[in-house]
Amino acid sequence: MPILQHGIPQKLSRNSLARASKASRSTRHLFTQSTPAQRTPIRTGLYTTAFVLSAGVFAVYYFDARSALHRYILTPILRNAFDVETGHKIAVKALKSGLAPRDPVGDDERLKSRIWGEAVSNPIGLAAGFDKDGEAIDGLFDLGFSWVEIGSVTPNPQPGNPRPRMFRLDEDNAVINRYGFPSQGHSSVLSRIRARIPNFFSRPPERAALREGAVLAVNLGKNKESPADSIDDFVSGVRAFGPFADVLVVNVSSPNTPGLRGLQNRDVLEKLLAGVTKARDDLEPSVLTSRKPKIVLKIAPDLEESQIIDMAEVIRNSKIDGVIVSNTTIQRPKTLINSNKTEMGGLSGPPVKPFSLKALQSLRANLPASIPLIGCGGIVTGKDALDYAKAGATMVQVYTGFGYDGVGACRRIKDQLIDELKKEGRTWEQVVNEAVEKLSWTEPEPVKKGEASIKQLIEEAEELKSMLDKLGDRMET
Ligand SMILES: Cc1cc2nc3c(=O)[nH]c(=O)nc-3n(C[C@H](O)[C@H](O)[C@H](O)COP(=O)(O)O)c2cc1C
């Protein structure tokens, strides 16, 4: 076997190279019919400068996530040349490589938000499901997201449902997926997260994101083989990832794991929330951040109003820190055009927005301001993000819009959001604070003893009067 030296097989050395070089010179003469141009130092300098400059310009252009190259050439190629799951895998590998584009612009002051009293540089997060195994965390932060959520991660590795399991609905800018939690499992994902922590001993970071104004969330899923009403997979997720995440998301809302959504029902939910918050409270503060993680519940957009009211009561009585509203929907709005609409699974993208927004509004009205909501579902523009803020969401997340729009999606949404906020003359935080204050649930005033009996007397008198009126009417007829 030829041995490679500087990329050239050794068998080709010396004589063959000399022959090849001679042949190439004669070929050039054949086409140019002229003697090779004399290379003066000035000419060489000019060529080198031109090359360096154009390479530099291309690099600046390439590494800028906003450039048209990504939006109109590379993303469509990725979308059309491969099936949707392969395209997704290639995108994750590219973002993992360190050679991916980035958001070159610092976040505008208007975008600053605050969650659990702490600053984040902008309110746009990446939702779970894109980086299921935590392979491209830093590539994703570099695209400008302030919240990167990896997962869902299951305790044991599992393959998920058979392929195909993800379908594009191009005319609707939507996707249906029935992945069923393919996951490399807790230990692989954990070792990847740990490998990111290069030198925190010299400068302990405040957050597991290892960046200022950013949040690293791990979304916890459940193995298909685990009993439907068991909470053990979530509890073990809290124990495993607690020391290495800012936020842990308890996902009880993916439609593709049998029985999972049943955990949203009152009795099991009470048990689940008590179990995961106890596991968190029992953790030692993280050696990385000196803190314990926040715990957030992720819910479906398909709940009845009465279920949301029930759920809110359970959440109010728990130690949960926030709620993501929402996951994908099992509903199929009549407006869907693409024939893939009949595929089984969860629908995401703009068609899910009305359902998610409605669920978020109902939950906001039933939860106190102290429990922040994170809006998710069909956000593709700055205006969409603002709609969620006005409904009382503190932050938002994006997935399908990112898939369609490519690496510049986050930056574009932020730019549009800045324009919207300028029009309104307000900052994101002002919009959120006003909405949360106005729309959140407040504890009903306790009725004082004396007042209660007077109120009761009035009610009884009114009831008696209406009975007498009815009796009088009957006697007259
Ligand atoms: C292909 C795909 C895979 C997803 N996987 C997960 C997942 O593993 N865990 C989860 O909580 N949500 C998952 N989601 C749901 C998203 O996180 C998000 O809640 C939903 O898609 C709505 O947002 P969107 O309309 O911006 O996509 C997935 C969504 C898609 C499209």
Domain residues of the chain, as ranges? Answer: 107-439
Q: Report the DSSP beta bridge partners of residue 168.
A: 175
Q: 306 pLDDT band (50/70/90 cuts)? A: very high
For residue 79, give the amino acid letter: R
By most ligand atoms within 8 Å of CB, the mutation choice from 176, 328, 336, 395 for ligand 1 is: 328
21 alpha carbon, distance to own chain's centre: 55
Q: 324 pLDDT band (50/70/90 cuts)? A: very high
> Which is higher by pLDDT, 57 or 468?
468
Helix, strand or coil, per DSSP, at residue 425: coil
Across all residues in the chain, what is the average pLDDT? 89
Tell me which DSSP letter residue 194 carries.
H
Q: Is the pLDDT of residue 202 over 80?
A: no
The active-site residue out of 67, 121, 254, 326 is 254
Give the residue-averaged pLDDT of 184-202: 87
Give the residue-averaged pLDDT of 375-401: 98
Give residue 473's pLDDT: 81
Question: Tokens 């008198």, residue?
Answer: 461
R_g over Cα of the chain:
29
Give residue 60's pLDDT: 61
Give residue 58's pLDDT: 63
Q: Report the predicted TM-score, pTM, of the whole model to 2 decimal places.
A: 0.85
* C-alpha–C-alpha distance, residues 179 and 12, integer Å: 50
Let me know if 310 is exposed, middle or buried by CB neighbors in 10 A (0-12, 13-18, 19+): middle
Give the residue-averaged pLDDT of 131-146: 97
* C-alpha–C-alpha distance, residues 284 and 152, integer Å: 24
Question: pLDDT, tens digit, for every residue of 263-273?
Answer: 989 999 999 99
Give residue 10's pLDDT: 41
**What is the whole-number distance in angstroms between the Cα of residue 285 and the centre of ligand 1?**
30
Beta carbon of 251 within 6 Å of any ligand 1 atom: yes
**What is the whole-number distance in angstroms between the Cα of residue 303 and the centre of ligand 1?**
17
Which ranges in 283-324 belong to alpha helices (H)? 305-316
Give residue 64's pLDDT: 83
Half-sphere exposure of 357 (CA within 13 A, CB side): 16
Give residue 44's pLDDT: 85
Give residue 475's pLDDT: 79
Maximum average pLDDT range among 86-100, 383-397, 447-461: 383-397
* C-alpha–C-alpha distance, residues 358 and 119, integer Å: 27
Exposure b/e, 186-200, CB count within 10 A at least 16 = b: beebbebbeeeeeee
Query: Beta strands of 330-389 (E only): which ranges?
Result: 346-348, 373-376
Give residue 181's pLDDT: 97
Q: 186 pLDDT band (50/70/90 cuts)? A: very high
Question: pLDDT, tens digit, for every residue of 7-35?
Answer: 333 433 444 434 444 444 443 433 334 44
The CATH fold assigned to 107-439 is TIM Barrel (3.20.20)
21 catalytic per annotation? no
| Tokens matching residue 419 | 């324009």
Beta carbon of 129 within 6 Å of any ligand 1 atom: yes
Helix (H) or strand (E) holding 175: strand 174-177
* C-alpha–C-alpha distance, residues 129 and 144, integer Å: 18
